[in-house]
A and B are shown apart, each in its own frame.
Chain A
């Protein structure tokens, strides 16, 4: 199956984001803004003439960051700061911190104090998303962000710029959605390592370059041909972020396939489109409101556990792997409830925790293999 040209290209980019970004920056002359969390309206960053790049880091060693962060911070927070302090994010011109969890909120201050990129923005999104007052505040906060971007860009960001960006990003989301449908339909056609490359590149590549590759990949997946291997037990990944190629390799080496996910680096990134009607800022706000709330957000109008269960069932998975970052409070609080829901439906699940300072691969492999084996029985 590895005849896929587009997938090979994506894998190459995924292996060295920094090389891509440096080259892209020189070629396009565009500044790069890093951001945390899928709730960041990337379209606005793009519309202002910058390349939005999600900061994801999974370093094996943490040393410089431990002078600023306690050992009970999650690996995303520790590892990102470590990368920053080591100068590995030197291609960035700034960073956007949307309000998500307590740790990211504090990281913003520590980041601003110690890294001092030219642009630093705290996008203080509301936590509540179901009331008119929250919506009004959210729209205001996005308008304030637009002004901040305009100031940094030295030019206005028009509604037309925003709409163009929205349609480019909607296209990206639609390809990702289409590929995720094939992923569930023909799990043998795209292996976990390929899925990693796909979502990893979605988080840093310029959409103008990413979209054609996705288009090509989607066509190849649809045509099919013979799957390169049998799908094996079908797994569903749940959690926050997984920037660990080794994790996907591990799933692959256990002979399993991935038929769906509920991850910030996955479905939650591309599930919801932005409307092209009306005021684009309002449309961006409404996308956040419509999204199934992540554990950091509060929207009693949508029950995330029910949605989760529906999606798990629809994926045809045989088992769910919760991939939680150790010390990620919002996800850890939801885990017992989600696990209970799965138990009630007799859907097997496994909890794996990602710690900072590298994956404890040995132990994880044993547990994952055992889990996959029970599913194959």
Chain B
């Protein structure tokens, strides 16, 4: 009893104040969006890597089915809703965000009462995958609303100027599209202002994540996964910059007071791919039980957009949205992983091979081998899915994590 009390106190001490504020922020956001449903105010559904800035500048409410998908996963509602989509002929092998979302749209089941507010139009950017186009085409048929596709050519080696020019022209087309739906022009000064918020929040987010380079780390990537919701859904607003400024201050204070995410941090790990949303707490505790902290990840850092800071807003948008992590080749991904590994002094990689996400997962085996060859750093591959819990095996994951931690122990002992 006394032991338990001590443990829970320890946990309370470890809980980030930011997480509570984030919940309030997100609740307000979703409530506001629900209230807007059926009013004059327009609602757009947008992909997680999509350019939200023109929407915010046009005073349109952006809604992120992927964020909702993560909520469905975390609240363990996904499987039931995926099954609804499957009963309509959507293969079980398709992205579980898409299946869960389609299931939620059709049944109105969701942690948000009544489900997400209905869109007036859809905006998909294929910088994260080709799946979003297919998913949004389905949504476009279900809701009978138009779909704008922002096509960001994939980067195999370097950015081709003509591909940037193509994206830039699409931003002009997108602005025209939004204006025609909204019935009014977007104020160019307002767009510049929104972009400066985005640039600032991306920078703050980078700094927040960067604080995990401290040994011991003041938070783990699991905290990052929870607290990334604002940078995904509300970037471009002032609330987000305020939120991350406070979060940064909180983490700096934790560092000053010597508070770490994992008591007696012994191993520092890097997470690759989208979280396993329905197993966050279990995985966080499992790794912590070995003194392992996941100090960095390739996922949350994808929202550290770079390139917003130019004099020409459309140029900035084109750069920021073309060069994101999932839109680059395996070679370029490896460069980024190695950079993160150096910055965060990483001892090992935890690679989530995510059945739902082929552009994120195919290539991981080669990345893993090349990282091992270049740095000697070992890695663990967890075969799972971001929200479809039917493909997850607790026992198998536990065994594999234990074996991996033993490898890391042995390496540590050999080095000592």
* A positions within 8 Å CB-CB of B: 67-70, 72-73, 77, 99, 101-103, 105-110, 113-114, 122, 124, 126-128, 131, 133-134, 136-137, 140-141, 144, 295-296, 298, 300, 324, 326-327, 329-330, 332-337, 339-340
Among all A-B residue pairs, the 9 with the closest Cβ atoms: A336-B89, A333-B134, A137-B166, A106-B362, A133-B169, A109-B330, A332-B91, A102-B359, A122-B156
Instruction: Judge whether A298 and B151 touch: CB under 8 Å.
Output: yes
CA distance A37 to B44 in the complex (A): 33
Instruction: Give chain B residues whose Cβ lies under 8 Å from the Cβ of A110.
Output: 330, 362-363, 366
Closest to B355 in A: A72
Instruction: Judge whether B330 and A140 touch: CB under 8 Å.
Output: no
Instruction: Judge whether A137 and B163 touch: CB under 8 Å.
Output: yes
Q: Which chain B residues in 359-394 approach chain A with CB under 8 Å?
A: 359, 361-366, 370, 383
> B359's contact among A105, A144, A324, A340, by CB below 8 Å, is which?
A105
Instruction: Judge whether A72 and B358 touch: CB under 8 Å.
Output: yes
Instruction: Judge whether B93 and A72 touch: CB under 8 Å.
Output: yes
CA distance A70 to B361 in the complex (A): 8
B149 interface residue (CB < 8 Å to A): yes
CA distance A113 to B373 in the complex (A): 14
B129 interface residue (CB < 8 Å to A): yes
Instruction: Show 5 A/B contacts (Cβ-Cβ < 8 Å), sorted by A.
Output: A68-B365, A108-B329, A122-B154, A124-B153, A300-B147
Instruction: Give chain A residues whose Cβ lies under 8 Å from the Cβ of B160.
Output: 124, 144
Contact A124/B154 with A110-B363, A336-B90 known, Cβ cut-off 8 Å: yes
Instruction: Judge whether B134 and A114 touch: CB under 8 Å.
Output: no
> B133's contact among A113, A127, A324, A340, by CB below 8 Å, is which?
A127
Instruction: Judge whether B153 and A137 touch: CB under 8 Å.
Output: yes
B310 interface residue (CB < 8 Å to A): no
CA distance A102 to B329 in the complex (A): 11
Instruction: Judge whether A295 and B153 touch: CB under 8 Å.
Output: no
Instruction: Give chain A residues whose Cβ lies under 8 Å from the Cβ of B353.
Output: 70
Instruction: Give chain B residues whose Cβ lies under 8 Å from the Cβ of A77.
Output: 362
Instruction: Judge whether B362 and A128 touch: CB under 8 Å.
Output: no
Instruction: Judge whether A109 and B151 touch: CB under 8 Å.
Output: no
CA distance A101 to B154 in the complex (A): 11
B91 vs chain A, min Cβ distance (A): 4
A339 vs chain B, min Cβ distance (A): 6
Instruction: Judge whether B149 and A298 touch: CB under 8 Å.
Output: yes
> A102's contact among B131, B156, B173, by CB below 8 Å, is which?
B131
Contact string against A for B residues 89-126, beta-carbon threshold 8 Å, 1 for contact and 0 otherwise: 11101110010000000000000000000000000001
CA distance A144 to B170 in the complex (A): 21
CA distance A133 to B170 in the complex (A): 7
Q: Which chain B residues in 179-216 approach chain A with CB under 8 Å?
A: none
Instruction: Give chain A residues whose Cβ lies under 8 Å from the Cβ of B153.
Output: 99, 124, 126, 137, 141
> B126's contact among A127, A141, A144, by CB below 8 Å, is which?
A127
> A99's contact among B89, B154, B165, B329, by CB below 8 Å, is which?
B154
B137 interface residue (CB < 8 Å to A): yes
> B365's contact among A69, A131, A329, by CB below 8 Å, is which?
A69
Instruction: Judge whether B94 and A329 touch: CB under 8 Å.
Output: yes
Instruction: Judge whether B135 and A113 touch: CB under 8 Å.
Output: no
CA distance A127 to B163 in the complex (A): 12
Closest to B156 in A: A122
Instruction: Judge whether A329 and B131 touch: CB under 8 Å.
Output: yes
User: Which of A124, A298, A332 gathers the greatest number of chain B CB atoms within 10 Å?
Assistant: A298
Contact A137/B162 with A102-B358, A110-B363, A333-B138 known, Cβ cut-off 8 Å: yes
A264 vs chain B, min Cβ distance (A): 15
> A329's contact among B95, B149, B169, by CB below 8 Å, is which?
B95
Closest to A338 in B: B89
Closest to B364 in A: A70
Instruction: Judge whether A326 and B329 touch: CB under 8 Å.
Output: no
Instruction: Give chain B residues whose Cβ lies under 8 Å from the Cβ of A340.
Output: 89
Instruction: Give chain A residues whose Cβ lies under 8 Å from the Cβ of B151.
Output: 126-128, 134, 298
CA distance A137 to B164 in the complex (A): 10
CA distance A99 to B102 in the complex (A): 27
B126 vs chain A, min Cβ distance (A): 6
Contact A106/B134 with A73-B358, A99-B153, A133-B169 known, Cβ cut-off 8 Å: no
Instruction: Give chain B residues whose Cβ lies under 8 Å from the Cβ of A67.
Output: 365
Instruction: Give chain A residues whose Cβ lies under 8 Å from the Cβ of B258.
Output: none
B38 interface residue (CB < 8 Å to A): no
B415 interface residue (CB < 8 Å to A): no
Instruction: Judge whether B137 and A333 touch: CB under 8 Å.
Output: yes
Closest to B356 in A: A72
CA distance A105 to B363 in the complex (A): 10
CA distance A18 to B151 in the complex (A): 38
Instruction: Judge whether A106 and B359 touch: CB under 8 Å.
Output: yes
B32 interface residue (CB < 8 Å to A): no
B24 interface residue (CB < 8 Å to A): no
B331 interface residue (CB < 8 Å to A): yes
Contact A113/B137 with A68-B365, A131-B173 known, Cβ cut-off 8 Å: no
B12 vs chain A, min Cβ distance (A): 40
Instruction: Give chain B residues whose Cβ lies under 8 Å from the Cβ of A126.
Output: 151, 153, 166
CA distance A24 to B165 in the complex (A): 42
B219 vs chain A, min Cβ distance (A): 30
CA distance A340 to B162 in the complex (A): 40
B410 vs chain A, min Cβ distance (A): 24
Instruction: Give chain B residues whose Cβ lies under 8 Å from the Cβ of A339.
Output: 89
18 extra A-B contacts, CB within 8 A, seeds A127-B149, A340-B89: A70-B361, A70-B365, A72-B355, A102-B129, A102-B358, A107-B362, A109-B330, A110-B362, A124-B153, A127-B126, A144-B162, A298-B133, A330-B130, A333-B131, A333-B134, A334-B134, A335-B91, A336-B138
CA distance A340 to B88 in the complex (A): 9
> A326's contact among B93, B166, B359, by CB below 8 Å, is which?
B93
Instruction: Give chain A residues whose Cβ lies under 8 Å from the Cβ of B365.
Output: 67-70
Instruction: Judge whether B154 and A105 touch: CB under 8 Å.
Output: yes
Instruction: Judge whether A333 and B90 touch: CB under 8 Å.
Output: yes
Contact A102/B130 with A70-B361, A72-B93, A110-B363 known, Cβ cut-off 8 Å: yes
CA distance A337 to B89 in the complex (A): 9
> A133's contact among B130, B166, B361, B362, by CB below 8 Å, is which?
B166
Instruction: Judge whether A101 and B130 touch: CB under 8 Å.
Output: yes
> B89's contact among A108, A136, A140, A335, by CB below 8 Å, is which?
A335
